[in-house]
Chains A and B, each alone.
Chain A
């Protein structure tokens, strides 16, 4: 059986500089994960456990020390990085806005790939009010910025969406609104979604398959 995303024996270390010395920390070793098309997977773990790094490896913003990552059964290292990133959209923990208006931010991915999509529809899907489309991104709240980031990530029409604690900087009401919106998108677009969170309660609300990254190992999280 072929999976949409597969990690085989993936290991990764990171280096920290303490004074002039580089110190190596092993984040995870021989990690294995299989995710089916359209599946929703939440990955929990404490700060520094390697959750963000795991998503960065899938998007190829970093490379593993060893192991293989397959998307649609193809080793991602054999794909052009840009093509991979178009397929595997990523939403970061802190929303990063590009200079310009909300509309220009959402259109960014489309322009990169020469695609034409309805910006208003994308904005609506991500819960960005139409009246904000021509506003400068500097005027937005953190929650609004994160919605723009989600719309921007969707503008490349990804088949896999990697979410790195997208609600961690929001209050609980805004966070739950974004959760609901993202779950709706996952259903409507049949998106494969890997959602990283450090909140057990949020993982419970999101549902899907729950995994926990602990001591460098990825384990199925038992239902409470």
Chain B
């Protein structure tokens, strides 16, 4: 390990210790220290895996991405209130959106088709698609629960479940995308995003870094929108019975 790596890890641990010590007064000190330590260990393991991946055939990169998608699907499924078929729907939604948005980067030649580019870019899309889908399904479930009277009034007129939950669907997607929209609005003004920061710090050309960053940023947004739309679309039927009745136990 070089001096700069040791210093970075030392700084990380110092900040974790200070944050958790401060957070003890809110009762979340232990949680912060555990989450921080876990993050450090996970990222170091990931770095070692990526290092190994560079030397392995390319299909191993896809295996790693599939593992990431499976874990992301499980996380979003937990947010769905353990909805019927939720695990499959979440995994499918995140995978479809992430892989779909990865294709143009490699087909257009922005990135070479190598593990060095495939795994980090894929993980950015998967992680963000997971976050946005989790927010969307959590809000969607809440909206359906709170709008029961409206949904049943709509069903009572002969509307399909999809038509009856249309306002909840819209609200679910909108709420999940608000943080991304706000980030997009302030991109470059309030903050410099991760990929661009990384490229600049490693001595890259700022214009090139900005071009790649904006392409990634819009792709993250698109992946999140596609994943959350697929997630809500395919999970709608899980809130209803075969007879188009809104289920009683939506918690």
Given the interface pairs A62-B245, A63-B245, the reply to whether A98 lies near B154 with Cβ below 8 Å is: yes
Instruction: Tell me how far the C-beta of A68 lies from the nearest C-beta in chain B, rounded to whole angstroms.
Output: 14
Q: Complex Cα distance A124/B244, Å?
A: 32
Chain A positions within 8 Å of B163 at CB level? 112
Q: Complex Cα distance A150/B246, Å?
A: 22
> Are the CB atoms of A81 and B243 closer together than 8 Å?
yes
A175-219 vs B: 1/0 string, CB under 8 Å? 000000000000000000000000000000000000000000000
Chain A positions within 8 Å of B35 at CB level? none
In the complex, which residues 147-196 of chain B have their Cβ closer than 8 Å to any Cβ of chain A?
149-150, 152-160, 163, 167
Chain B positions within 8 Å of A15 at CB level? 248
> Are the CB atoms of B157 and A92 closer together than 8 Å?
no
Whether A3 is near chain B, meaning CB under 8 Å from some CB there, is: no
Chain A positions within 8 Å of B159 at CB level? 82, 112
> Are the CB atoms of B152 and A61 closer together than 8 Å?
yes
A141-169 vs B: 1/0 string, CB under 8 Å? 00000000100110110000000000000
Instruction: Tell me how far the C-beta of A54 lies from the nearest C-beta in chain B, rounded to whole angstroms.
Output: 14
> Are the CB atoms of B153 and A156 closer together than 8 Å?
no
Which of A60, A152, A155: most chain B Cβ within 10 A?
A60
A78-115 vs B: 1/0 string, CB under 8 Å? 00011101100110101010110000000011001100
In the complex, which residues 46-78 of chain A have their Cβ closer than 8 Å to any Cβ of chain B?
59-63, 77
Instruction: Tell me how far the C-beta of B173 lies from the nearest C-beta in chain A, rounded to whole angstroms.
Output: 16
The bracket for how many chain B residues form the interface is 10 to 19
Q: Complex Cα distance A153/B153, Å?
A: 9
A96 contact from B150, B158, B244, Cβ within 8 A: B150
Chain A positions within 8 Å of B153 at CB level? 92, 96, 98, 149
Given the interface pairs A109-B158, A112-B157, A112-B158, the reply to whether A98 lies near B150 with Cβ below 8 Å is: yes
Instruction: Tell me how far the C-beta of A216 lies from the nearest C-beta in chain B, rounded to whole angstroms.
Output: 20
Q: Complex Cα distance A85/B152, Å?
A: 11
Chain A positions within 8 Å of B156 at CB level? 59, 61, 85, 89-90, 92, 153
Total chain A interface residues with beta-carbon distance under 8 A: 28
Given the interface pairs A92-B149, A98-B150, the reply to whether A152 lies near B157 with Cβ below 8 Å is: yes
> Are the CB atoms of B149 and A89 closer together than 8 Å?
no
Chain B positions within 8 Å of A94 at CB level? 149
> Are the CB atoms of B167 and A99 closer together than 8 Å?
yes
Q: Complex Cα distance A92/B156, Å?
A: 10
User: A149 — nearest CB in chain B belongs to which residue?
Assistant: B153
Chain B positions within 8 Å of A61 at CB level? 152, 155-156, 245-246
Chain A positions within 8 Å of B245 at CB level? 60-63, 81
> Are the CB atoms of A153 and B157 closer together than 8 Å?
yes
Q: Complex Cα distance A77/B167, Å?
A: 28
Q: Complex Cα distance A45/B244, Å?
A: 28
> Are the CB atoms of A85 and B158 closer together than 8 Å?
yes
Chain A positions within 8 Å of B244 at CB level? 60, 81-82
Instruction: Tell me how far the C-beta of A169 lies from the nearest C-beta in chain B, rounded to whole angstroms.
Output: 13
Chain B positions within 8 Å of A77 at CB level? 243
Q: Complex Cα distance A83/B223, Å?
A: 38
Chain B positions within 8 Å of A85 at CB level? 155-158
B116-157 vs A: 1/0 string, CB under 8 Å? 000000000000000000000000000000000110111111
Chain A positions within 8 Å of B160 at CB level? 82
B226-251 vs A: 1/0 string, CB under 8 Å? 00000000000000010111101000
B contact residues vs A (CB 8 Å cutoff):
149-150, 152-160, 163, 167, 241, 243-246, 248
Pairs across A and B, CB under 8 Å, 22 listed = A59-B156, A62-B245, A63-B245, A77-B243, A81-B245, A85-B156, A85-B158, A86-B158, A89-B156, A90-B156, A92-B149, A92-B153, A96-B153, A98-B154, A99-B167, A109-B157, A112-B157, A112-B159, A112-B163, A113-B158, A149-B153, A153-B157
A contact residues vs B (CB 8 Å cutoff):
15, 59-63, 77, 81-83, 85-86, 89-90, 92, 94, 96, 98-99, 108-109, 112-113, 149, 152-153, 155-156
- Per CB-CB distance, the 9 closest pairs between chain A and chain B, nearest first, are A96-B153, A86-B158, A85-B158, A90-B156, A82-B158, A81-B244, A109-B157, A96-B149, A81-B243
